[in-house]
Amino acid sequence: MSAFFPPPHPRTRRRTLRRSAAVTFGLAGLFVGATVAPTASAAAPTWAPAATATVKPGVQTYTAGAQCTANFVFTDATDVYIGQAAHCSGTGGATETNGCLAGSLPLGTPVNVNGASKLGIMVYNSWLTMQAAGETNPDACQYNDLTLIKLDPADHAKVNPSVPTYGGPVGVGDATAAGETVYSYGNSSLRGGAALLTKTGVSLGTNANGWNHPVYAVTPGVPGDSGSAFLDKDGKATGVLSTLALAPLPLSNGVSDLDHMLDYLLSHGGPNVQLANGTEAFTPKLIGLIPLGL
């Protein structure tokens, strides 16, 4: 039986899309930790079939009652990890978005991963790493939003790295260009299992010196979608959902750049991981409507 913690009551702690000084706010469980493109390939695990795997991108995660959405699967020579936003383990409010200053639960914190039989363990957190390093780069402080959850070996055989509906990823992507179609899969408990988990969107380009990709998506990321995966037009892993903006681009989402976050992870003593490519071919599908008038 899968370990499962019920979604938090509306009055309990729920991480929401974070709000920044630029009038954005963090989505519940939306901050994502950094990982870097590995320099050496790890031994490829034997993945569960995509159709029957219970642990995969897009599953719900619960950290001390905060519900978020897992993004991608990562591996090293021994272990299997699933990604989550760093702000999912934050201890402050939704407006506390500076990862160099905001509080966080410690490494070793247990995380419930839906579909897993045992609790995962938070072994990397970009916020904690930046604070330990004395990071002062404002772009990294604002958008370096990745956590790695190490899965128990008992659950390795339940994992598949393919993104539901779309397939892929097929490697780590570069910055998305303005007008480029992007794809995502959120899993907020607020969606109630409705057919709104898959999202098609349009990139508004790149800012913050490559750390952030604002996007418009149908539907926008909502609290609980935090940390969910974004794929570019070629099926490459481009980033993770981090913020919801109220201004200057109302209801746009901020997507933290995965390549930057992975580089930071590897250069600051994080696990020597690599992104696990999907076993299913990337098949772009226009889910819903693409926002117009951009």
The boundaries of the domain holding residue 94 are: 18-275
Report field, pTM of the whole predicted structure over 0.75: yes
Tell whether 211 is covered by a domain.
yes
Tell whether 3 is covered by a domain.
no
Residue 98 pLDDT class (50, 70, 90 cuts): very high
- Tell me, what CATH number does 27's domain have? 2.40.10.120
**Position 1 pLDDT exceeds 50:** no
Residue 222 pLDDT class (50, 70, 90 cuts): low
Tell whether 280 is covered by a domain.
no
Task: Kindly state the tokens that stand for 262.
Answer: 């992975």
Tell whether 287 is covered by a domain.
no
Contact (Cβ atoms closer than 8 angstroms) between residue 73 and residue 56: yes
In terms of Cβ atoms closer than 10 Å to its own Cβ (0-12, 13-18, 19+), residue 288 is middle
Q: The dihedral of CA 96, 97, 101, 106: what is its sign?
A: positive
Tell whether 138 is covered by a domain.
yes
Q: Out of 84-88, 89-93, 108-112, 168-172, which region has the weakest mean confidence (pLDDT)?
A: 89-93
- CA nearest to 46, candidates 139, 127, 153, 149: 153
Residue 192 pLDDT class (50, 70, 90 cuts): low
Most confident of 111-115, 238-242, 244-248: 111-115
Q: How would you classify residue 86: left for phi > 0, otherwise alpha for psi between -120 and 50, otherwise beta?
A: alpha
Instruction: Look at the block and give the residue holding tokens 């098949």.
Output: 283
Q: The dihedral of CA 15, 265, 114, 170: what is its sign?
A: positive
Q: Mean of the pLDDT values across residues 67-87? A: 95
Tell whether 118 is covered by a domain.
yes
**Position 73 pLDDT exceeds 60:** yes
Q: How would you classify residue 69: left for phi > 0, otherwise alpha for psi between -120 and 50, otherwise beta?
A: beta
Tell whether 284 is covered by a domain.
no
Tell whether 106 is covered by a domain.
yes
Q: How many domains would you assign to the chain?
A: 1
Contact (Cβ atoms closer than 8 angstroms) between residue 144 and residue 211: yes
Cis peptide before 223 (omega within 30 of 0): no
Q: Out of 11-20, 222-231, 243-252, which region has the weakest mean confidence (pLDDT)?
A: 11-20
